[in-house]
């Protein structure tokens, strides 16, 4: 009987329990206020998204049932790609089954033996994993330290260089200086990769930070997206010049060998894109006002978008206990603990949303203040 795997999992469990790092994939019970959600624009129950999903289910069935390069590309995938490119001002878009798969596909496909990936140390886990899958050299720079990033780029003789950042970072809630990043990428002939998972729908009247800073459509910039946040669906995409799209169709393993995004998710994401095109300015403004209320009430540094990060310096166990007490009082908040947080500080994460009742929000923030003060 094989026992090596058993020792492995049992030892890992003992370590997690000792460090207070045990995770659970539990069903969220009834709550009066959900500040843990990534549904920044409050669209997941929007009638237009529900109707779009129903139509797609009727027209295409429950699954694409194949890879995009076999028979899984449906008209709704192409419509979504065209709408995304139009909304974000990009030359082209390629839809993947998730934001994770989009990041894996882009970086792993571009990371050849003579490639250098220069990455902010706080980028999402999917980008870290993508870097491991590639064949290139990977160098991380201190969070938002572009002086250090430039030193790495300047010392490189690699034929291909990528500078990888996020628009808005998912743990701290701060943003990259995309104008400076763009200038740096141009100076060293690098492709700037910007993960806009947390800035689409929230900044730039819903079009993201790349668009807000006038960088949309730049040939030296590729944008990745997740549909699971502001777009209230599932899936992801890469937006870039047409040559990169064609390269990914032929080289990105997470695109070629994966079942295509379900038509229901593609249709609901498409409807979200259309709504942002029509109402992005007021919706994103609501999110940012809510974010200002949260940060002001809790004494936090103003965040760049919806993500509000509250450090719990007493450690992981304390952060988890506060989260559980808040849940018992009807409030859901996120809890990020080492090693998931890049700086090793446990945090409660609260996310701002459009359409959140001001009285409900105030009560929720009062509860957080009470629990954190204990």
Q: State pLDDT tens for residues 91-103.
A: 999 999 999 999 9
Q: What is the pTM of this model?
A: 0.91
The pLDDT of residue 25 is above 60: no
Q: What is the mean pLDDT of the chain?
A: 93
The pLDDT of residue 18 is above 60: yes
Domain boundaries in the chain? 20-43+279-373, 47-275
Distance CA 294, CA 290 (A): 6
Distance CA 47, CA 34 (A): 20
The pLDDT of residue 28 is above 60: no
Distance CA 120, CA 342 (A): 11
What are the counts of helices (DSSP H) followed by strands (DSSP E) for the chain? 13, 12
- Range with the poorest average pLDDT among 31-35, 65-69, 191-195, 370-374: 370-374
Mean pLDDT of 8-35: 70
Q: Tokens 């006038």: give the residue.
A: 214
Distance CA 106, CA 193 (A): 9
Among the four given CATH numbers 3.40.50.2300, 3.40.50.300, 3.40.50.1370, 3.40.640.10, the one describing domain 47-275:
3.40.640.10
| DSSP code of residue 226 | E
Q: State pLDDT tens for residues 135-178.
A: 999 999 999 999 999 999 999 999 999 999 999 999 899 999 99
Among the four given CATH numbers 3.40.50.300, 3.30.930.10, 2.130.10.30, 3.90.1150.10, the one describing domain 20-43+279-373:
3.90.1150.10
Q: State pLDDT tens for residues 179-237.
A: 999 999 999 999 999 999 999 999 999 999 999 999 999 999 999 999 999 999 999 99
């Amino acid at each position: 009987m094989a026992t090596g795997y058993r020792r492995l999992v049992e030892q890992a469990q003992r370590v997690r329990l000792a460090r207070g790092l045990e995770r659970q994939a539990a069903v969220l019970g009834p709550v009066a206020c959900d500040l843990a959600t990534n549904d920044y624009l409050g669209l997941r129950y929007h009638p237009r998204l529900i109707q779009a999903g129903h139509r797609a289910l009727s027209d295409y069935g429950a699954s694409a049932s194949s890879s995009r390069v076999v028979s899984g590309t449906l008209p709704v995938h192409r419509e979504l790609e065209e709408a995304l490119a139009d909304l974000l001002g990009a030359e082209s878009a390629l839809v993947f089954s998730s934001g994770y798969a989009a990041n894996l596909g882009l970086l792993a496909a571009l990371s050849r033996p003579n490639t250098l990936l220069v990455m902010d140390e706080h980028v999402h886990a999917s980008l870290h994993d993508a870097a491991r899958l590639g064949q290139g050299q990977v160098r991380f720079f201190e969070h938002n330290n572009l002086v250090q990033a430039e030193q790495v780029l300047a010392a490189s003789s690699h034929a291909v260089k990528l500078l990888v950042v996020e628009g808005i970072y998912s743990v701290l809630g701060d943003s990259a200086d995309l104008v400076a990043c763009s200038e740096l990428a141009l100076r060293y002939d690098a492709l700037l990769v910007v993960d806009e998972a947390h800035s689409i729908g929230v900044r730039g009247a819903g079009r993201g930070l790349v668009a807000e800073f006038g960088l949309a459509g730049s040939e030296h910039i590729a944008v990745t997206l997740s549909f699971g946040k502001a777009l209230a669906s599932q899936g992801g995409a890469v937006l870039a010049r047409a040559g990169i799209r064609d390269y990914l169709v032929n080289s990105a393993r997470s695109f070629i060998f994966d079942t295509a995004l379900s038509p229901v998710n593609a249709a609901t994401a498409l409807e979200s894109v259309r709504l942002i095109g029509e109402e992005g300015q007021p919706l994103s403004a609501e999110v940012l006002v809510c974010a200002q209320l949260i940060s002001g009430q809790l004494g936090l540094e103003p965040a760049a978008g919806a993500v509000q990060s509250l450090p719990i310096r007493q450690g992981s166990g304390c952060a988890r206990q506060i989260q559980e007490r808040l849940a018992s009082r009807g409030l859901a908040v996120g809890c990020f603990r080492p090693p998931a947080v890049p700086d090793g500080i446990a945090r409660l994460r609260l996310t701002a949303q459009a359409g959140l009742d001001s009285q409900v929000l105030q009560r929720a923030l009062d509860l957080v203040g009470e629990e954190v003060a204990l």
